[in-house]
Structure 1
Amino acid sequence: MNQEISQTQHDLNAPVRVWGISDVHIDYEENLTALLNLDLHAYQNDALIIAGDATDDMERLAVLLKAMKQRYRWVGFIPGNHELWIARKRNKDANDQAKFATSVDKFNAIRDLCQQLAVFTAPQKVGSQDNSIWLVPLFSWYHSPEENPASLYASKKCEKDRTQEMWSDFFLTQWPDWKGGNTADYFLNLNKPVLSESYDAPVISFSHFLPLQELLMASKEERKHSDLVYKDITPEFNFSRVAGTQIIDQQLRSINSTLHLYGHQHRNRHRKIDGVTYVSHCMGYPKERQRGLVANECTHPKLLWDTQQGFY
């Protein structure tokens, strides 16, 4: 691995914290403002990982990443589905189809942008000389049940399943001819070099999409200790069809991840399953916070690990 701890202008024994957040959706000014209001000095020796769905606007994404790099020593980012939209018109401007033939081209441009801004999209070791951790991004997409039995699909009772009509990805992304493959396989295969590495410290992995079907629903314990609203407001939409894939879980376990941060659903979790702690900390949309679907404290990144106490 060639991304070792940077030693420039930092005390090698100073405490280091790792923070995580996803689905910040900065096209909403309220969300962007919350992130720009993060203290400029409080996190200078810390790491922030952002698990996708910031914006489909490349210029706006650059604004966010630059601002986070001003606040955090390390920033990691992986694209979500929103980043890969190329057919959405913003205001009266042309859409991204003039710049990118496919969503894969835009994905590659986002990785290039991250490299220019010193935002990592590959495994990064952070911490102090005496206590460190690997932050490992895993690229992903969702498998449909027709594509792969690893799909997180769960049947749902409704008069008509309108997911295909309602899900924006089906209209706003554009993919190459996979010639028998599929989008999820493409992104999951990009992780192969990462999976073949050996890691000499604990691992926090992160993906945008969900790794397990059982994370789709709140547990009894989560419902018991939460004031959030649990109500299906769109019964004709089956999110599980576009949620993720079990192969993400297979991959994160193959590198012995201790904690996995994911996003996408805008339903936040902190749950340990078979030795792995799964954390979803989505900022979500302002209207979701107003309706009680997402907690207001999710406008601030969540502390995942530090050199003094370990995992949270």
Structure 2
Amino acid sequence: MAPTSGAQGGASQRRVSASMSARTSSSDALLASDALPAPPRSRACQGGVGTVDSAVVGSHAAAASASEADESITARRLRVFAISDVHSDFSENMAWVDALPLEENTTDVLIVAGDVSDHALTLQGTLKRFRARFSDVFFTPGNHDLWDEKSSIEKLQRVRDMCRECDIHTLPKWFALPNTSRRLFVVPILSWYHASFDTEPDIDHLASVLPRVQNAMTDFRACQWPSGEQRELNALDESLATYFDALNDAWIRDDDSHYESWTALEDMLNGSDDPLISFSHFLPRIELIPEKRFLFYPHLPKAVGSTFLGDRVVRLTSKRSSAEKRHVHVFGHTHFAWDSTLDDSIRYVQSALCYPSERKQRWGSIAMPRLEHAPVLLFDSDLKDGGGGGGFVGEMPARWSEHYRRTRRDPSNLELAPYVSAMWERRKQRHEQQ
């Protein structure tokens, strides 16, 4: 029973409304400012490989997926799109999903990098809608998807079972590329954040008014993890992050696919120059979030990423040369548009739909080509040399990654941006008056 676009009615709707209210206190922490000047229009904005034209938006449909058993050369065009943080509890976001056209005879693939809905029926309904529009859909859960009053671990298993029933991929899969013997790999990676991921200096002069991360983030109330003598999982230490990281090995080992283990997958990928798209919900590197002085909630980096995830991402192509890397990693969670290649020669992309209020208030830090109307195009087999190389779309304009192309990251600079400083000065004054 998939929900219709918009409200779900009765008790379910009251629950969704309550969960959205609960989100409000923590979602403010995800906001950075649009105070940075808009980046100059790049060639990607002006047309060519970085631009998704109207034909891209109108060609998502159900079709037979590329068979992993068939290694023959195919002549069918393959495109891969990506989206994260769909948050389809909001009627405006579900309407965005429903507006994607239903067309036939396509091999388009969609990556959904977590945070669809904390409500199970809405999550299922949204993924089914995507599956009706794309030949293959990949998904890995985000923090919102695992909110549960009783057990987030049990919910994770229910989400996995639901994905199997709905033909949604949660494990690696490859696709034959047209008119060549090469393949494109898509690899989902499970993860959770841990506080030690944040290795950059804290802004100590805000200590008196800055709430602790466990008080600021809704996850610490909305997720229920095992706690006791046999097992205790906690996002403040590394136990929860290592638990989720180990699930990657367990899930691929338990599956009936031809990957014997995660190590075997790494060996396969490192032994070829086949292009790879890996994806997670959380951040694999600290450099993928603005410096703390730009964040309204400077403790946010303690609840966004995983070094275990980062190590796993790198290992997938660590033995390749930089020229042969051809590796794009998609992530979500922080609600900042991003597209940059870092020193490990891996390209990192975030294309988040975000909350409707964020799209209205700070579209400049969310905007990606055509994101208002469709998921972002990452790979097109018709692109012979698309700036990104061998089918990958060239790097796309995104405000914060454009900023760090021009300006060296300096986490030791703890001077708050003016808009952040003004907000916390007001809070300090209120705190002192109480």
- For Structure 1 versus Structure 2, the TM-score category normalised by the shorter chain is 0.7 to 0.9
Q: CA-to-partner distance for each residue in 1:31-70, whole Å, 9 max, x for gaps?
A: 1111111111178311000000000111111111111111
For the residue of structure 2 that corresponds to 1:52, the secondary structure is coil
What is the percentage of aligned positions where both structures have the same residue? Answer: 31
After the TM superposition, which of the residue ranges 272-281 and 289-298 deviates more from structure 2?
A: 289-298
Give the partner amino acid of 2:203.
Answer: K
Aligned to 2:341: 272
1:253 Cα shift? 1.3
1:191 Cα shift? 1.9
After the TM superposition, which of the residue ranges 281-290 and 197-206 deviates more from structure 2?
A: 197-206
Contact 1:23 1:284 in 2 (8 A): yes
- How do 1:45-194 residues align onto structure 2 when only pairs under 5 Å count? 45-87=107-149, 97=150, 102-129=151-178, 130=180, 131-145=182-196, 150-151=197-198, 154-157=201-204, 158=206, 159-162=208-211, 163-177=213-227, 178-179=231-232, 182-192=239-249, 193-194=261-262
Contact 2:189 2:248 in 1 (8 A): yes
Give the partner amino acid of 2:366.
Answer: V
1:306 Cα shift? 1.5
The answer for unaligned runs of 5 or more in structure 2 is 1-64, 250-260, 318-324, 384-390, 394-434
Contact 1:125 1:134 in 2 (8 A): yes
Q: In 2, Cα distance between the equivalents of 1:64 and 1:143? A: 28
- How do 1:17-36 residues align onto structure 2 when only pairs under 5 Å count? 17-36=79-98
After the TM superposition, which of the residue ranges 293-302 and 66-75 deviates more from structure 2?
A: 293-302
How many aligned residue pairs are there?
278
The answer for unaligned runs of 5 or more in structure 1 is 88-96, 219-229
Q: In 1, Cα distance between the equivalents of 2:346 and 2:278? A: 10
For the residue of structure 2 that corresponds to 1:27, the secondary structure is coil
Contact 2:242 2:308 in 1 (8 A): no
Contact 1:140 1:209 in 2 (8 A): yes
Q: CA-to-partner distance for each residue in 1:73-108, whole Å, 9 max, x for gaps?
A: 110000000011013xxxxxxxxx3xxxx1011001
1:132 Cα shift? 2.6
1:302 Cα shift? 0.8
Aligned to 2:47: none
Contact 1:143 1:152 in 2 (8 A): no
Q: In 2, Cα distance between the equivalents of 1:74 and 1:17? A: 11
Distance 1:169 1:306, change over 3 A: same
Distance 1:238 1:118, change over 3 A: same
Give the partner amino acid of 2:91.
Answer: E
Higher helix share: 2
For the residue of structure 2 that corresponds to 1:205, the secondary structure is strand
After the TM superposition, which of the residue ranges 116-125 and 150-159 deviates more from structure 2?
A: 150-159
Give the partner amino acid of 1:302.
Answer: V
Q: In 2, Cα distance between the equivalents of 1:63 and 1:289? A: 23
Aligned to 1:311: 392
Q: CA-to-partner distance for each residue in 1:199-242, whole Å, 9 max, x for gaps?
A: 35321100000011111118xxxxxxxxxxx964x34x521010
Distance 1:152 1:40, change over 3 A: farther
After the TM superposition, which of the residue ranges 109-118 and 284-293 deviates more from structure 2?
A: 284-293
For the residue of structure 2 that corresponds to 1:125, the secondary structure is strand
The structure with the larger Rg is 2
Contact 1:20 1:301 in 2 (8 A): yes
For the residue of structure 1 that corresponds to 2:379, the secondary structure is strand
Distance 1:151 1:168, change over 3 A: same
For the residue of structure 2 that corresponds to 1:19, the secondary structure is strand
Q: In 2, Cα distance between the equivalents of 1:132 and 1:40? A: 27
Q: In 1, Cα distance between the equivalents of 2:105 and 2:143? A: 28
- Length-normalised TM-score, structure 2: 0.60
Contact 1:132 1:307 in 2 (8 A): no
Aligned to 1:260: 329
Aligned to 1:294: 366
For the residue of structure 2 that corresponds to 1:49, the secondary structure is strand
For the residue of structure 2 that corresponds to 1:135, the secondary structure is strand
1:128 Cα shift? 3.2
1:23 Cα shift? 0.2
